[in-house]
């Protein structure tokens, strides 16, 4: 028996992304979708910065890039700049793209390491076009040939997630998604199988559905409060548990990258949109008071604050099952990890695409649920390891928090990766997961983990040939960046800027 | 100018694994690293278990060893292979083509096979997958052509491997080694000098004492540095009987295999010969199993399975000393290539090789688990799902993964993929469908396409594949033509 009705509970980023994704695929298959949200309940508006994968999501919805960028005041994003992570004063960019190109099937960075160890020093960043473009505040779309410098990189966006939700609401409503205003007061379950059958709203109305998408935020109204699924607490790995966020005016042109600056008890984000800059301080309240965190945030803003500081608290981790019975938790109800690598929206997207691929029928086969949970667990676990890397690949010892990380026993999967890198510049690979070897390379090299050695095969080619090859790649990058327009003017010319 | 303390690498054994390993190292390492290949004066009859079909990755792999396709075709009787045709397989007598192919088209983001499942009740004649796969159409006719670069030509979807004979492949690589002046020592191993668990040197029957920093054991395990109890994941003793005869008939572009997982026979068309390989499982019971006893005397036997720790201290086992897979699929040669590639990525740089060994062993074990999962999929789904007792943990892991894969496919046509599996979606879709594992449901989104439009699309793919397979030449004609053409090209270059 086919599912006839989907109910989405909650209308933040996760809710409307789910509504858009599901209505795009299912509204012409006779499945009706209803989304319940209450204007009285605020949304968190997770991560305003994204990963390149969001473009696939938008594309599959048939969304025009310019329309989307105009509606959400979006800027382009080439990567994330990390400041003060390895040690105070350090800076590097984690770009969306590879460094150089393999030579004789050997990863490029081994040649870079070889030159480095012979005293020919260069920043790894100089071997990446998107990094140099970001640092110069420049952007243009990758051009035609994928093999050429200035073309083989990815990009994402920085946008107002509240406006994105609105944009997707319009999209969804045009595809027959019904939006109902109201607070959920009661959740009813089937006595036999425990499935949720309907929800009651404040005004006494009832919404029945076959499947429920829980986008109700941290509290997990259905997945946790009703189904008691349980939460896997990861705060021993990622102990930051609070954040304070504030928006400020933008000084200067909007930049094509996000910044994450390490602090003594957490880190601070800066996300430039077209019309304002989003800022926030993620911290561990054991080592800094709320007031002090707010003070630190406000005193480091680059422009005048235009909103009141907003306090958030969270527990890092994930729901033990993201799909339980007929409820799928997408967004904060499913789990939370600090937005250090802009993964929140990505995990929402993964949840939606996996659900579409594994969309059940009314019998809710166990095999669908198992496969969904297996995939999502893998996604979460691997993001966790990558985030943790930022905290442990460091020489910082200037605060209790950094000392906590220095003394931490790492998950073995992460420990082995770091050891293999430190020993010989070897990057462990996996297939399923967001962050691939270039990302690991960016962070490990960017935070001063310098391998003792490198792949001996890199010695086969004559030193001078390698040197001139790498020099010419750096040079080509510089020239390509020179010929790339300023980000702000490119936005305007492209027709995606609200400033005409 | 060297970042490494490993100056001396000894490769022990010059069977297929040994020569491939040596060639790969010679091509990859800086000239300062000394390589010594030891010809242990053994026969290489067990190389037959590397099988006779390769995967699609062999072209690039051989090229990385400095062996071009034209050398392969002119210096051995290697031929092209589109895959394997399994005939009357198992108790259920299933027959299907298992061919190399680019990913099947996604239609509106939905995998192709879901559409076949959708129409199966109403249009059963349109629902078999074979005619939609270009390489299956070509294999069916015994024809062949290289993949096309024209995006409109269905041949763009073809992928190919080779039909080969391990002894011939070994000879070609051996000749390369001779040309490259690789140091080859001849002599069986008389003694192994060790200290602290590490091999220091080998004394050979010719009196030579060969010392080295890193030893690669490509024999049947002669270096014996490790615990001999190999933990076999899928422990069976196989016997191979080979029969090679000249043939004049038109040769096929696809290997033929009849039988069941315990006893099967393959026919492989090499350029000038037909190779027939009979593989049978020998009962491990030492009772009155007369049949196995009488046949024991002829043919070559080997026990399948793999070690969990092929790399211990400064000795890496590579090839049959570490793993034996059944040649039922291209897995043996595929994984041998993977072993070599993995070894190259992890060539040790100091005498402390623990990190390299750990990572090699991890990836090795995963790879062999996945390959064994694919091989195990040649059993009926019922046998797999009902299986409850396991010889060891590895076998249990293999069956866990396989059960999940079968459950997902049978339930709704999901092709469950684990990290970095050697066999891809197309391989799995073909074997599942070939073994009649028909999904109960299909992707709901497949219903979004209008039925007339769908049938039209399907008919077009079929028609185009058919037209092309009528046009391209039989394999033997193609090879003769290709060699003639390439020789002419070569002469032209030379005369210039």
pLDDT tens profile B151-201:
999 999 999 999 999 999 999 999 999 999 899 999 999 999 999 889 999
Residue A159 pLDDT:
96
Identify all chain B residues contacting A372, using CB atoms and an 8 Å cutoff: none
Interchain contact, A359 vs B33, CB within 8 Å: no
The H or E element that residue A109 is part of is helix A108-117
Q: What is the share, in percent, of chain A residues with pLDDT greater than 70?
A: 98
- Which chain B residues have any C-beta within 8 angstroms of a chain A C-beta? 1-4, 6, 28-33, 64, 109, 344-347, 349-350, 355-356, 358-359, 362, 404, 407-408, 411-412, 414, 416-417, 419-420, 441, 443-445, 447-448
CB pairs under 8 A between A and B: 92
Comparing CA positions, the residue from B301, B270, B296 lying closest to residue B167 is B270
Q: Is the pLDDT of residue B292 over 60?
A: no
- The tokens describing B86, both together, are 């399994």
CA distance A82 to chain B (A): 29
Beta strand A196-201 pairing with A266-272:
unpaired
Split at pLDDT 50, 70, 90, the class of B232 is low
Say if A356 is an interface residue toward chain B (CB within 8 Å).
yes
Which of A358, A456, A463 comes nearest B29 by C-beta?
Answer: A456
- Three-state helix/strand/coil letters over B264-305: EEEEEECCCEEEEEEEEEECCCCCCCHHHHHHHCCCEEEECE
CA distance B143 to B337: 27
Whether A203 shows a pLDDT value over 80: the answer reads: yes
Q: Quick one: which of B80, B41, B137, B48 has its CA closest to B469?
A: B137
**Contact partners, residue B400, CB within 8 Å, separation at least 6:** none
Q: What is the Cβ-side half-sphere exposure of residue A22, based on CA atoms within 13 angstroms?
A: 35
Phi, psi of B384 (to 5 degrees): -65, -45
Instruction: Report the pLDDT value the prediction gives residue A474, as an integer from 0 to 100.
Output: 95
Residue B266: strand pairing partners:
B257, B277
**Is the pLDDT assigned to residue B234 strictly greater than 70?**
no
For an interface test with B, the pick among A456, A465, A466 (most B C-beta atoms closer than 10 Å) comes out as A456
CB contact under 8 A, A365 and B411: yes
Query: How far is the alpha carbon of B4 from chain A, nearest alpha carbon, in Å?
Result: 7
Report the alpha-carbon distance of residue A134 to residue A148 in Å, rounded.
18
Residues present in chain A in total? 500
**Nearest CA distance, B445 vs chain A (angstrom):** 7
Instruction: Compute CA distances B55 → A64, B11, B427, whole Å.
Output: 42, 25, 11
pLDDT band at B289 (very low <50, low <70, confident <90, very high): very low
Using 50, 70 and 90 to split pLDDT, how confident is the model at A145? low
What is the rounded average pLDDT for all residues in chain B? Answer: 92
Q: For residue B460, what is the enclosing H or E element? A: helix B451-471
pLDDT value for A118: 93
Residues in B touching A26 (Cβ below 8 Å): 444-445
C-alpha–C-alpha distance, residues B184 and B177, integer Å: 9
Cα of A171 to nearest chain B Cα, Å: 19
Give exposure, B11-50, as e/b (b: 16+ Cβ within 10 Å).
bbbbbbbbbbbbbbbbbbbeeebebbbbbbeeebebbbbb
CA distance A482 to A485: 8
Class of domain B8-444: alpha beta
Alpha-carbon distance of A306 to A247, in angstroms, equals 6
pLDDT at residue A144 above 80?
no
From residue A454, give the alpha-carbon distance in Å to each of A51, A90, A122, B5, B349.
Answer: 30, 23, 16, 13, 8
Largest CA distance in chain A: 78
Query: Among the listed ranges A27-31, B10-14, B130-134, B202-206, which one has the minimum average pLDDT value?
Result: A27-31
**Structure token pair of residue B234:** 């899928």
Q: Is A353 on the interface with B (CB under 8 A)?
A: no
Residues of chain A with Cβ-Cβ distance to B347 below 8 Å are 455-457
Helix (H, G, I), strand (E, B) or coil at B217: strand
* Contacts with B, A 45-84, CB within 8 Å: 60
Q: Which residues of A touch B407 (CB under 8 A)?
A: 367
Cα(B262)–Cα(B379) distance, integer angstroms = 10
**Is there a contact between B98 and B106 (Cβ–Cβ < 8 Å)?**
no
Instruction: Please answer whether residues B405 and B418 qualify as being in contact, where contact means their C-beta atoms are separated by less than 8 angstroms.
Output: no
Q: Do B2 and A416 touch (CB under 8 A)?
A: no
Q: CB–CB of A243/A283 below 8 Å?
A: yes
The token pair that represents A462 in the structure block = 């004559």
pLDDT of A46 higher than 60: no
Provide the token pair at B271.
């350029």
Q: Which of A158, A142, A162 is nearest to A150 (CA)?
A: A142
Tokens at residue A440, please? 């690991």
Over 60: is that where the pLDDT of B141 sits?
Answer: yes
Could you report the per-residue pLDDT of B356-412, keeping only the tens digit for each?
999 999 999 999 999 999 999 999 999 999 999 988 889 999 999 999 999 999 999
| Interface with B, mutate which of A27, A455, A462 (most B CBs under 10 A) | A455
Mean of the pLDDT values across residues B68-89? 96
How is residue B382 written in tokens? 């019922």
How many C-beta atoms surround the C-beta of residue B173 within 10 A? 23
Question: Which residue of B1, B2, B3, B4 to mutate against A (max A Cβ within 10 Å)?
Answer: B3
Catalytic residue check, A77: yes
At A438-495, the pLDDT tens digits run 999 999 999 999 999 999 999 999 999 999 999 999 999 999 999 999 999 999 999 9
The model's pLDDT over B212-223, given as tens digits with 9 standing for 90+, comes to 999 999 998 778
CB contact under 8 A, B29 and A432: no
Could you say which of A419, A430, A431 has the minimum Cβ distance to residue B355?
A: A419
Catalytic option among A2, A66, A77, A286? A77
The residue of A457, A462, A464 whose CB has the most chain B CBs within 10 angstroms, and thus the best one to mutate to test that interface, is A457
Q: Does the beta-carbon distance from B3 to A356 stay under 8 Å?
A: no
Place of tokens 């910065």: A49
Cα-based distances in Å from A410 to A385, A415, A417, B125, B360:
9, 6, 11, 57, 21
* CB contact set of A60 (below 8 Å; sequence gap of 6+): A21, A24, B109
Residues of B in contact with A359 (CB under 8 A): 443-445
**Cα–chain center distance at B273:** 21
pLDDT the model gives residue B251: 74
- Are the beta carbons of A24 and A61 closer than 8 angstroms? yes
> CA–CA separation, A114 vs A121, rounded Å?
10
Shortest CA gap A456–chain B (Å): 7
Is B419 close to A28, i.e. CB distance below 8 A? Answer: no
Question: In chain A, which among 408-427 make CB contacts under 8 A with chain B?
Answer: 416, 419-420, 423-424, 426
Q: Which of B64, B349, B448 sits opposite A424 (nearest CB)?
A: B349
């Amino acid at each position: 028996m086919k599912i006839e009705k989907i109910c989405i509970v909650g209308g933040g980023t996760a809710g409307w992304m789910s509504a858009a994704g599901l209505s795009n695929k299912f509204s012409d298959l006779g499945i009706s979708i209803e989304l319940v949200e209450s204007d009285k309940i605020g949304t968190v508006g997770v991560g305003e910065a994204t990963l390149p994968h969001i473009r696939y999501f938008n594309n599959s919805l048939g969304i025009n890039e310019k329309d989307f960028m105009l509606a959400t005041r979006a800027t382009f994003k080439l990567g994330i700049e990390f400041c003060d992570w390895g040690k105070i004063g350090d800076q590097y960019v984690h770009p969306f793209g590879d460094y150089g190109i393999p030579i004789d099937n050997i990863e490029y960075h081994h040649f870079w390491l070889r030159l480095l160890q012979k005293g020919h020093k260069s920043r790894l960043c100089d071997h990446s076009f998107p990094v140099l473009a970001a640092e110069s505040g420049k952007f243009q779309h990758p051009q035609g040939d994928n093999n050429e410098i200035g073309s083989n990189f990815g990009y994402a966006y920085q946008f107002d997630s509240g406006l994105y939700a609105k944009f997707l609401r319009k999209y969804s409503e045009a595809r027959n998604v019904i939006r109902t205003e109201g607070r959920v007061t009661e959740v009813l379950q089937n006595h036999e199988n425990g499935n949720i059958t309907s929800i009651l709203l404040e005004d006494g109305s009832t919404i029945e559905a076959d499947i429920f998408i829980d986008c109700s935020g941290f509290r997990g109204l259905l997945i946790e409060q009703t189904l008691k699924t349980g939460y896997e607490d990861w705060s021993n790995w990622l102990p930051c548990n609070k954040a304070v966020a504030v928006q400020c005016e933008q000084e200067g042109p909007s930049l094509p990258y996000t910044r994450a600056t390490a602090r003594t008890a957490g880190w601070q984000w800066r996300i430039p949109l077209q019309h304002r800059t989003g800022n926030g301080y993620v911290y561990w309240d054991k080592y800094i008071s709320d007031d002090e965190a707010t003070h630190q945030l406000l005193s480091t803003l680059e422009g005048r604050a235009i909103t009141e500081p907003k306090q958030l608290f969270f527990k890092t981790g994930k729901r033990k099952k993201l799909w339980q019975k007929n409820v799928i938790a997408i967004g904060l109800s499913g789990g939370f990890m600090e937005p250090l690598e802009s993964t929140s929206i990505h995990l929402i997207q993964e949840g939606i695409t996996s659900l579409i691929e594994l969309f059940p029928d009314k019998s809710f086969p166990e095999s669908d649920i198992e496969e969904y949970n297996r995939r999502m667990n893998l996604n979460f676990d691997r993001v966790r390891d990558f985030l943790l890397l930022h905290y442990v690949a460091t020489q910082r010892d200037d605060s209790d928090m950094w000392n906590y990380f220095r003394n931490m026993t790492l998950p073995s999967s992460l420990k082995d990766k770091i050891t293999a890198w430190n020993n010989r510049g070897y990057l462990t690979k996996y297939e399923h997961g967001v962050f691939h070897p270039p990302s690991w390379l960016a962070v490990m090299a960017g935070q001063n983990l310098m391998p003792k050695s490198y792949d001996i095969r890199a010695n086969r080619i004559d030193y001078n040939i390698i040197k001139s090859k790498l020099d010419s790649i750096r040079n080509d990058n510089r020239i390509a960046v020179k010929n790339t327009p300023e980000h702000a003017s490119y936005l305007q010319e492209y027709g995606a800027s609200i400033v005409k | 100018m060297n970042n490494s303390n490993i100056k001396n690498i000894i490769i022990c054994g010059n069977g297929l694994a040994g020569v491939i390993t040596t060639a790969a190292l010679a091509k990859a390492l800086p000239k300062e690293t000394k390589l010594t290949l030891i010809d242990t004066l053994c026969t290489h009859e067990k190389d037959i278990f590397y099988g006779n079909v390769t995967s699609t990755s062999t072209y690039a792999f051989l090229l990385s060893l400095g062996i071009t396709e034209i050398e392969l075709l002119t210096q051995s009787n290697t031929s092209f292979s589109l895959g394997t045709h399994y005939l009357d397989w198992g108790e259920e007598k299933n027959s299907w083509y298992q061919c190399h192919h680019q990913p099947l088209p996604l239609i509106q983001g939905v995998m192709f096979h879901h559409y076949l499942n959708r129409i199966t009740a109403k249009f059963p004649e349109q629902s078999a997958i074979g005619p939609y796969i270009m390489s299956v159409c070509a294999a069916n006719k015994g024809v062949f052509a290289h993949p096309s670069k024209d995006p409109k030509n269905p041949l763009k979807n073809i992928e190919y491997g080779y039909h080969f004979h391990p002894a011939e492949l070994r000879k070609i690589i051996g000749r390369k080694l001779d040309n490259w002046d690789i140091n080859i020592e001849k002599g069986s191993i008389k003694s192994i000098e060790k200290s602290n668990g590490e091999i220091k040197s080998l004394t050979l029957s010719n009196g030579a004492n060969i010392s080295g920093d890193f030893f690669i054991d490509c024999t049947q395990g002669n270096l014996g540095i490790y615990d001999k109890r190999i933990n076999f994941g899928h422990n069976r003793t196989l016997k191979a009987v080979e029969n090679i005869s000249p043939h004049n008939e038109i040769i096929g572009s696809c290997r033929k295999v009849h039988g069941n997982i315990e006893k099967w026979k393959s026919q492989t068309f090499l350029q000038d010969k037909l190779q027939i390989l009979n593989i049978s499982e020998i009962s491990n019971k030492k009772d009155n199993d007369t049949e196995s006893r009488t046949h024991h005397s002829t043919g070559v036997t080997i026990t399948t399975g793999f070690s969990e720790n092929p790399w211990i201290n400064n000795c890496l086992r590579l090839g049959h000393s570490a793993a034996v897979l059944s040649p039922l699929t291209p897995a043996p040669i595929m994984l041998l290539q993977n072993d070599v590639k993995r070894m190259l990525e992890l060539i040790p740089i100091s005498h402390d090789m623990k990190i390299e060994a750990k990572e090699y062993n991890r990836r090795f074990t995963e790879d062999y688990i996945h390959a064994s999962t694919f091989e195990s999929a040649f059993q009926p789904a019922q046998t797999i799902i009902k299986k409850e007792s396991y010889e060891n943990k590895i076998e249990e892991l293999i069956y866990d993964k396989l059960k999940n894969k079968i459950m997902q496919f049978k339930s709704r046509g999901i092709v469950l993929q684990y990290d970095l599996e050697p066999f891809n979606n197309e391989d799995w879709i073909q074997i599942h469908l070939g073994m009649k594992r028909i999904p109960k449901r299909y992707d709901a989104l497949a219903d979004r396409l209008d039925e007339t439009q769908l049938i039209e699309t399907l008919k077009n793919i079929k028609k185009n594949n058919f037209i092309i397979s009528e046009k391209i030449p039989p394999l033997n004609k193609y090879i003769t033509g290709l060699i003639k053409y390439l020789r002419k090209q070569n002469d032209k270059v030379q005369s210039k």
